Amino acid sequence: MFDVKLTSWGATEEVTGSCHLLKINNYRLLIDCGLWQGSWESYLKNWDEFGFDPSSLDAVILTHAHLDHCGRLPKLYAQGYKGKVYTTEPSIKLAQIVLKDNYHITQEKARYHKLPQLYSLSDLNKVDWQAVNYYQTIQLGDDISFSIHNAGHILGAGIIELKIGGRIIVFSGDIGGENMPLVKDVDYLKKADYVITESTYGNRLHEDLKDRNEKLLEAVKRTVVNNSTLLISIFAIERTQDILKVLNDYYENHLDFNVPVFLDSPMAASATRIYKQSIKYLNQAAQDTLNTDNDLFNFPHLKITNQVRKSKQINAVAPPKIIMAGSGMAEGGRVLHHLARYVKDAKNTILFIGFQVPGTLGHKLINGTFNFDYYGKSVPIKAAVDQIDGFSAHADQAALLKWLGSFKKPKKVFLSHGNKEVMEEYAKTIQAKLKFDTLILKKGESIKL
Ligand SMILES: [Zn+2]
């Protein structure tokens, strides 16, 4: 007989910091160990104690390479964890660049705010990655096994299906929907006793796939008419490659269109290289395009500016021009110095792609703040600020309900990874439409499964 207890230590009534502990008799399994992002108050929680002893863990499974799911993995090793981290091969490659980038950011923030180092480079190198193929069964112990299904979210992202004795527990991780520009459609599972699901967009619908491409291209065309600058705040993984593909298709079909596009993010450039190495993980349409176009993410007039010197030279390029820079929520990175320069001109457009966590500069800008603080200097916002939701790698409410509705009456559904109000609304929707018993996870609360 198995005694199974679930305790969530992050992404409870919030969208970051994913961290779920399962105690299976004496076996301790952690699903994800993400960073808290968003407001400074939320970010500070990364320095808190884990709530469990990392050295007591037997295994860790990572759903995908987003920072809010993998960001505290090195901290686990810093505090005594010695086991493996199971995940797909693209997730390993992406997480390695994400964690290295985050190391420099947290170092800088820790120094500035006189906090201890969150983790060292040697902790980062201690992470013992174990690659798992989709659908491969991994035996963790007697009658405890798991497999990873395609989450349709970002390259390599997985849904974890855990089998404990006769029980099936499914962790959604972050799930995407159907007809994503690059990754394959999400897998629909049928059987589970318990489902722990994300709920980021539990109360909202995305715009249509066609609309999002149109909206992006409209912003591009407007930039030409206004002879101005389009600054796109990008997430290095998936969104960047999605946008590059849309631009690639446009430029390949409009050979006389010569507006320069600067990909001003070394991390996004590295992530794009990983996409190119992982063709078999892409959807059929993307693979088919590769038959006629040998590079989905490259086109005339795309310039990748890895060095700081080259990044600074972008300023001297006459408009019209397009700049893609991170971080995606404008919380750091090169987008900040571009914002400080281009936000002051009403002709320019600042475009945000995907979900913006409340408390971030991206969230403030799309909600109409009048100025922003750039190293103690107030910069007035005159440029048009716009957001395209449809590039989100997250399923919207309809897609979430479709995915959850494919299960045959689970005993219970647990909600994680969403804002409190969104979760409350989504829980009611699930109960009304699917008639599934639904509970919102609370931090540190142990639930017997
Ligand atoms: Zn994610």
- What secondary structure, in 3-state letters, does the chain show? CCCEEEEEEECCCCCCCCEEEEEECCEEEEECCCCCCCCHHHHHHHHCCCCCCHHHCCEEECCCCCHHHHCCHHHHHHCCCCCEEEECHHHHHHHHHHHHHHHHHHHHHHHHCCCCCCCCHHHHHHCEEEECCECCCEEEECCEEEEEEECCCCCCCEEEEEEECCEEEEECCCCCCCCCCCECCCCCCCCCCEEEEECCCCCCCCCCHHHHHHHHHHHHHHHHHCCCEEEEECCCCCHHHHHHHHHHHHHHHCCCCCCCEEECCHHHHHHHHHHHHCHHHECHHHHHHHHHCCCCCCCCCEEECCCHHHHHHHHHCCCCEEEEECCCCCCCCCHHHHHHHHCCCCCCEEEEECCCCCCCHHHHHHCCCCEEEECCEEEECCCEEEEECCCCCCCCHHHHHHHHHCCCCCCEEEEECCCHHHHHHHHHHHHHHCCCCEEECCCCCEEEC
- What type of residue sits at position 14? E
The residue among 397, 94, 149, 354 whose CA lies nearest residue 243 is 354
Other beta carbons less than 10 A from residue 109's beta carbon: 16
Tens digits of residue pLDDT in 271-293: 999 998 998 999 998 888 877 77
Pair 203, 397: CB distance under 8 Å = yes
Ligand 1 centroid–CA 149 distance in Å is 15
Ligand 1 centroid–CA 399 distance in Å is 15
Ligand 1 centroid–CA 216 distance in Å is 22
Distance separating alpha carbons of residues 285 and 431, to the nearest angstrom: 36
Q: How far apart are the first and last CA of the chain?
A: 12
Ligand 1 centroid–CA 417 distance in Å is 10
Q: What is the pTM of this model?
A: 0.91
- Do 4-205+393-448 and 209-388 share a fold? no
Pair 71, 85: CB distance under 8 Å = no
Ligand 1 centroid–CA 201 distance in Å is 12
Q: How crowded is the C-beta side of 408, counted as CA atoms within 13 Å?
A: 3
Ligand 1 centroid–CA 226 distance in Å is 35
For β-strands 27-31 and 19-24, DSSP reports them as antiparallel
Ligand 1 centroid–CA 94 distance in Å is 12
Ligand 1 centroid–CA 18 distance in Å is 10
311-316 contacts: CB < 8 A, separation 24 or more?
311/264, 314/262, 314/264, 314/338, 315/341
Q: Which fold has domain 209-388?
A: Rossmann fold (3.40.50)
Ligand 1 centroid–CA 127 distance in Å is 20
Ligand 1 centroid–CA 423 distance in Å is 17
- What type of residue sits at position 285? A
Ligand 1 centroid–CA 254 distance in Å is 33
CATH superfamily, region 4-205+393-448: Ribonuclease Z/Hydroxyacylglutathione hydrolase-like (3.60.15.10)
Pair 79, 90: CB distance under 8 Å = no
Ligand 1 centroid–CA 66 distance in Å is 5
Ligand 1 centroid–CA 192 distance in Å is 22
The residue among 120, 132, 117, 144 whose CA lies nearest residue 58 is 144
Ligand 1 centroid–CA 370 distance in Å is 30
Report residue 408: phi and psi, to 5°. -90, 100
- Position 355 scores a pLDDT of 79
Please give the order of strands across the beta sheet that includes 412-416: 138-141, 144-150, 158-164, 167-171, 194-198, 412-416, 438-440
Ligand 1 centroid–CA 11 distance in Å is 12
Residue with tokens 């249509």: 208
Ligand 1 centroid–CA 335 distance in Å is 21
Ligand 1 centroid–CA 427 distance in Å is 21
- Position 180 scores a pLDDT of 85
Distance separating alpha carbons of residues 419 and 424, to the nearest angstrom: 9
Ligand 1 centroid–CA 154 distance in Å is 7
Distance separating alpha carbons of residues 292 and 313, to the nearest angstrom: 33
Report residue 157: phi and psi, to 5°. -65, 145
Ligand 1 centroid–CA 174 distance in Å is 5
Ligand 1 centroid–CA 388 distance in Å is 17
Ligand 1 centroid–CA 237 distance in Å is 9
Ligand 1 centroid–CA 88 distance in Å is 14
- What type of residue sits at position 432? A
Q: Where are the domains of the chain?
A: 4-205+393-448, 209-388
- Position 290 scores a pLDDT of 79
Instruction: Please list the pLDDT of the chain residue by residue as tens digits (449 residues).
Output: 899 999 999 999 998 999 999 999 999 999 999 999 988 899 999 999 999 999 999 999 999 999 999 999 999 999 999 999 999 999 999 999 999 999 998 998 899 999 999 999 999 999 999 999 999 999 999 999 999 999 999 999 999 999 999 999 999 999 998 888 899 999 999 999 999 999 999 998 887 777 888 999 999 999 999 999 999 999 999 999 999 999 998 998 998 999 999 999 999 999 999 998 998 999 998 888 877 777 889 898 999 999 999 999 999 999 999 999 998 899 888 999 999 999 999 999 999 998 788 888 999 999 988 888 898 999 999 999 999 987 878 899 999 999 999 999 999 999 999 999 999 999 999 999 999 999 999 999 999 99
Ligand 1 centroid–CA 383 distance in Å is 29
Distance separating alpha carbons of residues 415 and 194, to the nearest angstrom: 11
